[in-house]
Structure 1
């Protein structure tokens, strides 16, 4: 599914179409694998082939329509609501797009409220688990460009102090492991974020808890990671396109 998503995203970046060899190179896929996936996507209507070039097909174009966008958003919201109830924590979904951290949706309850955005989430990605998780999935140049726009600043006494220390911390972040943050964005709050990479889409699902429930954070994050893994296939199109 991830490889098919990468191909769709590559094709979407070529208004006038692209040949299989170019798409394989851009998606980082072996040519035989690329041909197999392209044939499948053409058969399903997500791509069309014309004179050796591949274009988005009617099925992919329908996915980008307003009604389809609302349906995809509803799919993600329903998943967040389910995880909120099963795990008993607020759940967040965010992506990194066009150089910005975007909180797409949040699911919480009066008994388990989400963290209040008291400092702009876009400008303080170094301080919260969501931003740290998204930035950890980027290449070094993109990270540095982000920090040039939004330099590290002290949000609480626990916030990382400078760009160098923050970048070193990101380099030590284990791939596909939960990113944990304790009171770096909001005093009295601990958070964890799960990295999600589908094609070129960089995303995360995250949770937060009051500081006095910090011992629940890692088990809850592991539970969320398991739930995401179980439903990722059905959520892939909603997240990636």
Structure 2
């Protein structure tokens, strides 16, 4: 039993070391890893050496700095390829980004945060990094509001205590009363919007994705700078495109409910 406990602790520590590289900086000294992971210097050094042999971290021979190794990508790719939402959404999101010239993103809920499964960038919304694997708050994003459509007001309050409703900009929703209004509006029209609630100068339009049981299992959005989104003139067209794409993914997951298109969008078809 002692050996089993020790083995489990070693695995937990190894994962803690790997997570240290997701805290901001991509290249770290042994001392940086030790501090972030809460480990002793010798323990961190030993674990890094083991992970390097396994291919999960690389060490720069000149600077001595460590970074995540490419074998992590192999694991990540296997996880994504096995995920049913990722399989159904990948081509749909890629097509949407190409057609609209905006970023197309798909996320699921992981506890009290949204988790990006994939993203594609259109010509009007380039990024120098990928969003896959990153997390964002639920209350401050269009994707998050869409994901929260699957919860009752009571469940939302249990999941997101008042202290969690952080204000990222002056436009962030920071009370459950306002969040309830946003969710009600999202359910009524079939899509959510976000305008400078998480980051200034950016906006998005999002819609929930449902599985065969009708449960909200993911969300799809298009996003970009305000100059590209132009909700004042493009909201109806963007909402229609996002809802149709989300419905297509939902159908692929076995959802047989009616497509949720608001009356004005249905009339515009």
TM-score of the two chains, using structure 1 as the length reference: 0.59
Q: 1:83 aligns with which of 96, 101, 110?
A: 96
Shift in Å, 1:68: 6.6
- Provide the aligned length of Structure 1 versus Structure 2: 170
2:220 alignment counterpart: 205
Q: 1:234 aligns with which of 238, 246, 252?
A: 252
2:161 alignment counterpart: 148
Could you say what secondary structure the match of 1:173 adopts? helix
Give me the CA root mean square deviation. Answer: 3.2
Q: Deviations over 1:65-119 (max 9, x none)?
A: 97971687344222211121122211111122455422111111464225987xx
Shift in Å, 1:148: 1.8
Q: Which residues of 2 match residues 98-177 of structure 1 at below 5 A? A: 98-109=111-122, 111-113=124-126, 121-122=135-136, 124-148=137-161, 151-175=164-188, 177=190
Q: 1:187 aligns with which of 197, 200, 209?
A: 200
- Structure 2 unaligned residues grouped into runs of 5+: 1-77, 256-269
Could you say what secondary structure the match of 2:207 adopts? strand
2:234 alignment counterpart: 216
Instruction: Check the 8 A contact 2:105/2:116 in 1, yes or no.
Output: yes
Shift in Å, 1:133: 1.2
Shift in Å, 1:222: 1.0
Bigger radius of gyration among the two: 2
Could you say what secondary structure the match of 2:186 adopts? coil
**Counterparts of 2:123 and 2:194, CA distance in 1:** 23
Could you say what secondary structure the match of 1:180 adopts? strand
Change (3 A) 1:105 1:66: closer
TM-score of the two chains, using structure 2 as the length reference: 0.53
Instruction: Check the 8 A contact 1:115/1:208 in 2, yes or no.
Output: no
**Counterparts of 1:145 and 1:129, CA distance in 2:** 20
Instruction: Check the 8 A contact 2:101/2:124 in 1, yes or no.
Output: no
Higher relative contact order (CA 8 A, sep 6+): 1
**Counterparts of 2:176 and 2:185, CA distance in 1:** 14
Instruction: Check the 8 A contact 2:165/2:174 in 1, yes or no.
Output: yes
Shift in Å, 1:137: 2.4
Change (3 A) 1:193 1:150: farther
Shift in Å, 1:145: 1.5
Instruction: Check the 8 A contact 1:178/1:195 in 2, yes or no.
Output: yes
